[in-house]
C-alpha cells in the first residue's frame, strides 16, 4: 500500500508541477479575466472496505496423521474431502503378527495365573504344616512335662487341646488332597510341589498320632523308656517346627516369584493389545480429510504421514501487515474479506507482537466463518479493514494541488478561488478519488476541473464543460 501511495503522490506532484508552470505563464491573464472551472459540492459518502491485503485460507485446526506401527496397508476407509468424527477408523494395516502375539500373551497370562494360584495354595499348605508342627511341639512338651511331673489337670487339658489342633491340621490336608491332585493332573503344579504336599500331609497325620499317643500316656502314666522317648519327641518336634517355618518362608518366596511373573505377563498382554490397536489409524478430531497419502498394498512406515485432517467450519487467513500500520489492527476487530466476488466478515484473532526483520511486516491472523464450507483451504482471499457505518469525504485527484509542500485545493467562495490546505486520508475510491482526512467539510464547493490554472484569490466562473 505504501508503494501505491508513493505512485499516486508522484503522479499528483508531476501534474501539479506542470500546473504550477502553466499558472506562472498565465499569471497576467488571470488578473484580467475570470478563469473557467468546474465545481463540485462536498458531501459525505459511506466508507467501503479497502482490500489492501491478501492471504491464503487455511483450516482453523490442522493435524497430520501417521501410523505408529510398520505394516502393509490392507484397507483405507476415507477419501480426501470426506467428513469424519474423532475416533473414526481411517485405514488399517496388516495385523496378523499382532494377533499371533496377542494369543501368545493371553496364553502367558493364563499360565502365570495358574502358577500364582498354585503358589498361593503352597503358602496355605506350608502355613498349615507350620501350625501342625507347633501343635506337635506343644504336645511333645506337654508329654515331657507330664512324664517328668505327672499329668496335671491343666497339662491334660493342654494335651487334649494339642490333639484337637493336630486333628484340625490333618483335616485341612485331607480336604486339600483332592484339589492338589487336580492341579497336578492339569499341569498347573509341578511334581515336586505335589510331592511336598503329600509329605506335609503325612507329617500332619504323624503329628495327630503322636498327640493321641501323648494323651494316652498322660492318662496311663509313663515308664523310664517313655521319659526318654518323650525327650526325643520334644527335640524332634522342635526340628519339625523349624523345618515348617522354613517351608513357609520358601512358599512365600515362591508366591512372590509367581506374582512377579503374572505381573510381567499382564504388562506384556497390555503392550500387545496396544500394538494391535495401533494397526487401526483413527481420526484425532472432528473435521474433513484434506489430503490422503495412504495407498492399499503399500508398506506404511511408522511416522510417515498418511492423512491430513482439518476443521473447515471456520478458516484462518494470515496476512502480512506493514509495521507502521500495526496500531490499525486489534484482536476482536471486524475485517472484510473477498474471494471471487463473494464477501463476508471476519474477525482478527491474533496480532503478532514482533515484526519480521526480513520483510518489515507483522502477521495478523483473521478468523472467517465458513458454515457452508464453500470457501476452501488454499484459496487466496483479499482482506481489508471494514468501515461499515462510517462516512468520509472524497475529491477527484485533479482537484488536489501539490508542489512538494502541503497538498491543497481551491474552494469556490463568492466567485473567488480560496486556497485551502488539506490532509489526505488513506483511501482511494474505485473511481480513483482521494479521501480527505481534514481541511474540508460537507457543503464546501471545491474546484474539480481547472484548479491547475488558479492562484489564491483568482476570480472564477463556473461552467458546465471544461475548456483549455
Q: Is residue 371 part of a domain?
A: no
Q: Is residue 32 part of a domain?
A: yes
Confidence of residue 413 (pLDDT cuts 50, 70, 90): very high
Contact predicate 211/140, CB 8 Å:
no
Reported as a single tens digit per residue, the pLDDT across 363-411 is 999 999 999 889 999 999 999 876 555 788 999 988 999 877 789 999 9
Least confident range of 58-67, 122-131, 422-431: 422-431
Reported as a single tens digit per residue, the pLDDT across 266-290 is 898 888 888 888 888 899 999 899 8
Reported as a single tens digit per residue, the pLDDT across 253-265 is 888 988 998 899 8
Domain that holds residue 36: 2-48+389-462
CATH of the domain at 10: 2.40.420.20
pLDDT for residue 130 is more than 80:
yes
Provide the pLDDT for residue 114. Answer: 87
Q: What percent of the chain has pLDDT over 70?
A: 85
Final residue belonging to a domain, choices 260, 292, 309: 309
**Degrees (nearest 5) of the Cα angle 372, 310, 317?**
70
Q: Is residue 375 part of a domain?
A: no
Average pLDDT for 15-24 = 43
Across the chain, what does the average pLDDT equal?
83
Contact predicate 432/384, CB 8 Å:
no
Reported as a single tens digit per residue, the pLDDT across 76-114 is 999 988 999 999 999 998 887 878 888 888 898 888 888
Least confident range of 277-281, 308-312, 323-327, 443-447: 323-327
Provide the pLDDT for residue 405. Answer: 78
Provide the pLDDT for residue 49. Answer: 60
Q: Is residue 328 part of a domain?
A: no
Provide the pLDDT for residue 349. Answer: 95
Query: 283 and 134 in one domain?
Result: no
Query: 288 and 265 in one domain?
Result: no
Q: Which residue did the predictor score with more confidence, 303 or 146?
A: 303
Query: 298 and 436 in one domain?
Result: no
Q: Is residue 319 part of a domain?
A: no
Q: Is residue 304 part of a domain?
A: yes
Query: 420 and 299 in one domain?
Result: no
Query: 131 and 28 in one domain?
Result: no
Provide the pLDDT for residue 51. Answer: 58
Average pLDDT for 59-87 = 90
| Per-residue 3-state assignment (H helix, E strand, C coil) for the chain | CHHHHHHHHHHHHHHHHHHHHHHHHCHHHHHHCCEEEEEEECCCEECCCCCCEEEECEECCEEEEECCCCEEEEEECCCCCCEECCCCEEEEECCHHHHHHHHHHHHHHHHHHHHHHHHHHHHHHHHHHHHHHHHHHHHHHHHHHHHHHCCCHHHHHHHHHHHHHHHHHHHHHHHHHHHHHHHHHCCCCCHHHHHHHHHHHHHHHHHHHHHHHHHHHHHHCCCHHHHHHHHHHHHHHHHHHHHHHHHHHHHHHHHHHHHHHHHHHHHHHHHHHHHHHCCEEECCCCEEEEEECCCCCCEECCCCEEEEEECCCEEEEEEEEEHHHHHHCCCCCEEEEEECCEEEEEEEEEECCCCCCCCCEEEEEEEEECCCCCCCCCCEEEEEECCCCCEEEEEEHHHCECCCCCCEEEEEECCEEEEEECEEEEEECCCCEEEEEECCCCCCEEEEECHHHCCCCCEEEECCCCCC
Contact predicate 137/211, CB 8 Å:
no
Query: 284 and 213 in one domain?
Result: no
Q: Which residue did the predictor score with more confidence, 195 or 432?
A: 195
Final residue belonging to a domain, choices 251, 276, 301: 276
pLDDT for residue 187 is more than 60:
yes
Confidence of residue 3 (pLDDT cuts 50, 70, 90): very low
Query: 33 and 72 in one domain?
Result: no
pLDDT for residue 25 is more than 50:
no
Provide the pLDDT for residue 207. Answer: 86
Query: 176 and 255 in one domain?
Result: yes
CATH of the domain at 295: 2.40.50.100
Final residue belonging to a domain, choices 234, 255, 276: 276
Provide the pLDDT for residue 283. Answer: 92
Provide the pLDDT for residue 20. Answer: 43
Least confident range of 22-36, 163-177, 442-456: 22-36
Average pLDDT for 445-460 = 94
Q: Is residue 374 part of a domain?
A: no
Provide the pLDDT for residue 322. Answer: 87
Confidence of residue 327 (pLDDT cuts 50, 70, 90): confident
Provide the pLDDT for residue 380. Answer: 95
Query: 67 and 40 in one domain?
Result: no
Q: What percent of the chain has pLDDT over 90?
A: 29
Which pTM was predicted?
0.46
Provide the pLDDT for residue 88. Answer: 93
Provide the pLDDT for residue 14. Answer: 47
Q: Is residue 412 part of a domain?
A: yes
Query: 115 and 226 in one domain?
Result: yes
Query: 232 and 165 in one domain?
Result: yes
Query: 261 and 178 in one domain?
Result: yes
* Structural domain count, the chain: 3
Provide the pLDDT for residue 30. Answer: 42
pLDDT for residue 150 is more than 70:
no
Confidence of residue 148 (pLDDT cuts 50, 70, 90): low
pLDDT for residue 11 is more than 80:
no
Cα distances (angstroms) measured from residue 387 to each of 51, 58, 219, 299, 390: 11, 25, 118, 55, 6
Amino acid at each position: 500500500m505504501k508503494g501505491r501511495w508513493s505512485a499516486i503522490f508522484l503522479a499528483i506532484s508531476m501534474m501539479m508541477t506542470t500546473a504550477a508552470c502553466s499558472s506562472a505563464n498565465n499569471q497576467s491573464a488571470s488578473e484580467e479575466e475570470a478563469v473557467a472551472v468546474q465545481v463540485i459540492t462536498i458531501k459525505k459518502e459511506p466508507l467501503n472496505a479497502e482490500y489492501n491485503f491478501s492471504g491464503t485460507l487455511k483450516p482453523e485446526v490442522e493435524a497430520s496423521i501417521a501410523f505408529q506401527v510398520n505394516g502393509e496397508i490392507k484397507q483405507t476407509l476415507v477419501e480426501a474431502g470426506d467428513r469424519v468424527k474423532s475416533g473414526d477408523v481411517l485405514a488399517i494395516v496388516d495385523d496378523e503378527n499382532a494377533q499371533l502375539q496377542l494369543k501368545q500373551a493371553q496364553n502367558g497370562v493364563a499360565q502365570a495365573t495358574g502358577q500364582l494360584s498354585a503358589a498361593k495354595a503352597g503358602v496355605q499348605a506350608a502355613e498349615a504344616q507350620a501350625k501342625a508342627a507347633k501343635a506337635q511341639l506343644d504336645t511333645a512338651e506337654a508329654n515331657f512335662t507330664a512324664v517328668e511331673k505327672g499329668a496335671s489337670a491343666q497339662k491334660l487339658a493342654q494335651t487334649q487341646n494339642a490333639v484337637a489342633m493336630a486333628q484340625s491340621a490333618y483335616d485341612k490336608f485331607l480336604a486339600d488332597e483332592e484339589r492338589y491332585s487336580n492341579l497336578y493332573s492339569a499341569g498347573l503344579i509341578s511334581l515336586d510341589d505335589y510331592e511336598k504336599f503329600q509329605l506335609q500331609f503325612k507329617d500332619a497325620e504323624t503329628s495327630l498320632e503322636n498327640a493321641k499317643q501323648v494323651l494316652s500316656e498322660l492318662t496311663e502314666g509313663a515308664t523310664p523308656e517313655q521319659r526318654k522317648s518323650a525327650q526325643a519327641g520334644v527335640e524332634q518336634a522342635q526340628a519339625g517346627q523349624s523345618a515348617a517355618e522354613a517351608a513357609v518362608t520358601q512358599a512365600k518366596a515362591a508366591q512372590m516369584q509367581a506374582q512377579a511373573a503374572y505381573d510381567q505377563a499382564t504388562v506384556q498382554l497390555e503392550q500387545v493389545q496396544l500394538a494391535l490397536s495401533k494397526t487401526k489409524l483413527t481420526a484425532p478430531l472432528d473435521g474433513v480429510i484434506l489430503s490422503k497419502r495412504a495407498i492399499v498394498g503399500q508398506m506404511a512406515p511408522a511416522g510417515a504421514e498418511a492423512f491430513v485432517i482439518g476443521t473447515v467450519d471456520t478458516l484462518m487467513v494470515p496476512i502480512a501487515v506493514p509495521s507502521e500500520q500495526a496500531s490499525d489492527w486489534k484482536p476482536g476487530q471486524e475485517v472484510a474479506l473477498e474471494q471471487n466476488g463473494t464477501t463476508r466478515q471476519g474477525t482478527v484473532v491474533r496480532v503478532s507482537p514482533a515484526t519480521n526483520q526480513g520483510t518489515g511486516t507483522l502477521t495478523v491472523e483473521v478468523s472467517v466463518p465458513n458454515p457452508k464450507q464453500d470457501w476452501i483451504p488454499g484459496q487466496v482471499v483479499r482482506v481489508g479493514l471494514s468501515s461499515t457505518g462510517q462516512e468520509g469525504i472524497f475529491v477527484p485527484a485533479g482537484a488536489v494541488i501539490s508542489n512538494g509542500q502541503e497538498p491543497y485545493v481551491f474552494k469556490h467562495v463568492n466567485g473567488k478561488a480560496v486556497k485551502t490546505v488539506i490532509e489526505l486520508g488513506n483511501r482511494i475510491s474505485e473511481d480513483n478519488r482521494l479521501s480527505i482526512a481534514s481541511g474540508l467539510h460537507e457543503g464546501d464547493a471545491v474546484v474539480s476541473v481547472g484548479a491547475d490554472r488558479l492562484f489564491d484569490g483568482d476570480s472564477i466562473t463556473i461552467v458546465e464543460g471544461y475548456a483549455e
